[in-house]
């Protein structure tokens, strides 16, 4: 699968283990930026970025406002703020009301990234006990991007992938290891 400029991943309940598995499969020198929203309790400090970085041995950052998205980095949304991608490919944070009780909301990241990257975006929705992300994933598909949903039979909590499948037939329905293999085949869009 060629021509991917960015990958966005959303997950909720069961999402930490799923993220470890998917991101752990990224090959050495993987140059495509990956942006993740994982629902987390509370809105204070979260150690997710540090924990991921230690486990994955690759640079992981909590997304910062107006930071330019850099190749080869993994960004995670911090707690209490929505994360969006702007048209000039910088990140922005905001505190609009929670969506599906969640801030950060997967829908907001997916929708804004679809607007920014269009056909160059790959969206992945994983396990979760809530419908956040389904509409955003549909927006990615409608904007020409590619969509992947974790196989609900394998997901720790099937509600989130099932909500996505109720709205669209994604390009792939895969297990976590299948998603890992797919990511490993990605090649960045030639500039």
Does position 85 interact with another protein (CB under 8 A)? The reply is: yes
- Using the rule CB under 8 A, which residue among 3, 17, 70, 142 binds another protein? 142
Is residue 89 a contact point for another protein (CB under 8 A)?
no
* Closest-CA residue to 12 (of 112, 115, 109): 109
Instruction: In angstroms, give the least distance from the CB of 191 to another protein.
Output: 23
Give start and end residues of each alpha helix (H) in 40-171.
Answer: 48-56, 106-117, 134-142, 159-167
| 39 belongs to the catalytic site | yes
127 near another protein (CB under 8 A): no
Question: Which one of residues 51, 90, 129, 167 is an interface residue with another protein (CB under 8 A)?
Answer: 90
Residue in 93, 50, 92 with CA at minimum distance from that of residue 74: 50
User: Are 10 and 136 a contacting pair, CB within 8 Å?
Assistant: yes
CB of 158 to another protein, least distance (A): 28
What distance lies between CA 9 and its chain's CA centroid?
A: 1
Provide the annotated active-site residues.
Answer: 12, 39, 132
């Amino acid at each position: 699968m060629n021509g991917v400029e960015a990958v966005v991943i959303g997950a909720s309940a069961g999402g930490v283990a799923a993220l470890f598995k998917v991101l752990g499969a990224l090959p050495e020198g993987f140059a495509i930026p990956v942006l993740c929203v994982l629902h987390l309790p509370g809105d204070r400090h979260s150690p997710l970025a540090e924990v991921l970085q230690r486990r994955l041995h690759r640079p992981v950052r909590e997304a910062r406002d107006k930071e330019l998205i850099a190749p080869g980095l993994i960004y995670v949304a911090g707690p209490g703020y929505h994360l969006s991608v702007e048209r000039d490919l910088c990140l922005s944070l905001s505190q609009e009301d929670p969506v599906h009780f969640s801030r950060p909301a997967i829908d907001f990241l997916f929708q804004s990234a679809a607007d920014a990257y269009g056909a160059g975006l790959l969206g992945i929705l994983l396990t979760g006990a809530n419908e956040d992300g389904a509409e955003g994933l549909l927006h990615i598909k409608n904007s020409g991007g590619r969509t992947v949903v974790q196989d609900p039979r394998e997901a720790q909590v099937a509600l989130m992938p099932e909500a996505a499948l109720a709205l669209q037939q994604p390009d792939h329905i895969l297990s976590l290891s299948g998603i890992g293999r797919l990511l490993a085949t990605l090649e960045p869009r030639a500039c």
